[in-house]
Structure formats: structure tokens, C-alpha cells
Amino acid sequence: MYACKALPNVSIMRLVRAQGIGLDTVSIQEVELGMKAGFAPDEILFTPNMVPFAEIQRAVELGVHVNIDSIPMLERFGAEYGGSVPLFIRINPHIMAGGNERISTGHIDSKFGISIHQLRHVERVVASHGIHVHGLHMHTGSDILEAEVFMRGAELLLEAVVHFPKVRFIDLGSGFKVAYRDGDIVTDVEELGQRLCTRMERFVEGRDTPVEIWFEPGKFLVSEAGVLLTRVTQIKQTTATIFAGVDSGLNHLVRPMMYGSYHHILNVSNPQGAPHIYTVVGNICETDTFGWDRKVAELRVGDVLAMLNAGAYGHSMASNYNSRLRPPEVLVENGVACTIRRRETLDDLLATQFVPEDDRTDV
């Protein structure tokens, strides 16, 4: 399942679906975008968090897989649908995983999922409402290196399956680490696949119904495919730092500021230039630093910089902060470039606003 929050462009979704991949969604809008991209309802998993019950009802109407991550929502779902609509239950395994706490979602203080220690309560709710549980789900975070983290989570879910005999799917989330720098260690998905397949072969022996294993990578699929291109607008030297200002900012790529993430920066206009140390910053009225003290080929005003690994959570987390416009998205496939999202204009900023016809201030 492709976690489309990483890059929810319909053209990308169609490209992903053509590879035989399903869709992981976290909002009802992502569900409906996925259906417009051609995904069938049974190819879509809906895993919301803290949403009104109306979104759950809409997902049921659309016929997608619904994933419930709190006991109150599970009780309400049971009261509304009983066992007529099968569902997934998201378990919080209490496993700290990922690069740091800001991208870990399976620890004890996470808002996501139902604690593994509340399974007895879940069993009672399921039994009292006759709920049909056909899937168990977990997601522990991002930038996970060790296959062991996934194996620990798999063991927890396999133990829980015993209490829900109709389970047909186990979703282990994702969090596969991609390379941000030369020499970075990445998740060994081959090792994980071998270990997990061996474990599942033992598990399904004697079961009447096999159990499918699902993963839901987002960043892993699109991060390295995306590049943010931006132009140098100023070279500004202070007493301690040489700043290279660009015509972009946290409104286009917020990950370095939000998560402290590293994105390699290349001068594609002068790749053979002598390297100098620059701090690359944006044009937003905030501290929007893309990279401190980066060694980059000599920069000149007008040079184009490439910020790598921008395919995931770049455009999808972009904003119009400072009333800046969002850039276009261009898909390059088989050497052919095609615009899949146009550049915004001032009219786009005004499209949802009510602009008075004159200077009156009447409301």
C-alpha cells in the first residue's frame, strides 16, 4: 500500500497503481482522490486519527477498508455496524522506533493506535457488538534500520491474531529508511522479507485461512525520486557566515525545519566550481534554513540548486505562508517531462476569499 500522504498527486497515484500497489490513506479526502486516480475500494486502506465519526461513515459508504485506532471509536463503530462491515484495528505496540521521537508513532505516549495492553478490553468490545475484525495494523515510525523492529511488531500482532480468528490481513506499516547522504545505511528489505516469509510460513500452517502481510511505504517509494529546484537570489556575507538565499523556503520544503532532516544540496548550474561553505536559507520571514555550513560548488546569483530527497513530504506539506505561491510539479518519465501540477498564481490565493468590490468594510 502506498502511503499517499507522502505525495498525494493523482498522477503519482496512477503511476503507483500501475505497479500493482494499493493505497494507504489517512483522510477521507485522500480516499476520494485515490478513487479518482482509479483505485478500487478494496485496494484502499483508510487509517484516520482523531477524526469525526462522519469520516468513518463516509469511508464505509465508499467501501474501503476502515482502520480503527481508539476504543471509543471501536465501540461506536460496533454500535453502528455490528459485524456487517469488517474492519482493521490499529495496535500501538509500545515499540520506540525511528530516527527520533518526532517521527516515532508506536511508543507509549503516542496518540496513534490502541495500546497492546488494552487487548482484553478490545476483545470485550468486539464480542459484545459482534464486530468482524479482518485486519490488524501497526506503524511504529520512520527511518527504521533494523528488520528486528518489524519482526518484534509482527510477533505482537501474530499473538493478537489468536483472539480474532477472522483476521486475514496484518499490516506492519512502514518506516523503511532511505539514504540521505552518501554511505547512509538503509533498511535491508531483502533480509526483512526473508525473515518474515519464514515466520509466516510457520504461522499459517494448520490455519484454514491464510494471512496476508501488508506494508505501507510512502517516503520509501517517492523520496529519492523527487528534487526541489530553486534559484539563488542573493549571496550575503556576515561576520561569521556566508548565506546563500534562494527563492524557496519552509513553505516548499519544511522537513529540515520541522524534523531537522538532511537534504543534500547541489549547484547544478556550476557543478565543477570550487567548493565553498554556505548556509542555504529561504525567503520566508522565519528561520528557514535548508542547510548550515554546507560545502557547495561556488554559488552565483541566478544559479539553480537541487535539493535532493524532496519527493516525500515536500509538496504535500507545502503552504502559502507569507502569501508565497507553491511551485509546479513536473514528472519526468522515460526522459519526457510533463507538468502534473501547475504553478500557482495570485488568483489561486484569492480563489477562496471574498474580495469586496470597493473600499467598504461591511461584513
Residue 247 · residue 230 · CB < 8 Å: yes
- Going by DSSP bridges, is the β-strand pair 304-307/329-333 parallel, antiparallel, or unpaired? unpaired
- Whether 4 is catalytic: no
> What is the residue type of 296?
V
3-state helix/strand/coil string of the chain? CEEHHHCCCHHHHHHHHCCCCCEEECCHHHHHHHHHCCCCHHHEEECCCCCCHHHHHHHHHHCCEEEECCHHHHHHHHHHHCCCCCEEEEEECCCCCCCCHHHECCCCCCCCCEEHHHHHHHHHHHHHHCCCEEEEECCCECCECCHHHHHHHHHHHHHHHCCCCCCCEEECCCCECCCCCCCCCCCCHHHHHHHHHHHHHHHHCCCCCCCEEECCCCHHHHCCCCCEEEEEEEEEECCCCEEEEECCCCCCCCHHHHHCCCCCEEECCCCCCCEEEEEEECCCCCCCEEEEEEEEECCCCCCEEEECCCCCCCHHHCCCHHHCCCCCEEEEECCEEEEEECCCCHHHHHCCCCCCCCCCCCC
With b for 16 or more beta-carbon neighbours within 10 A and e for fewer, the 55-90 pattern comes to bbebbbebebbbbbbbbebbbebbeebeeebbbbbb
Of these residues, 4, 197, 285, 338, which one is catalytic?
285
Catalytic machinery residues = 285
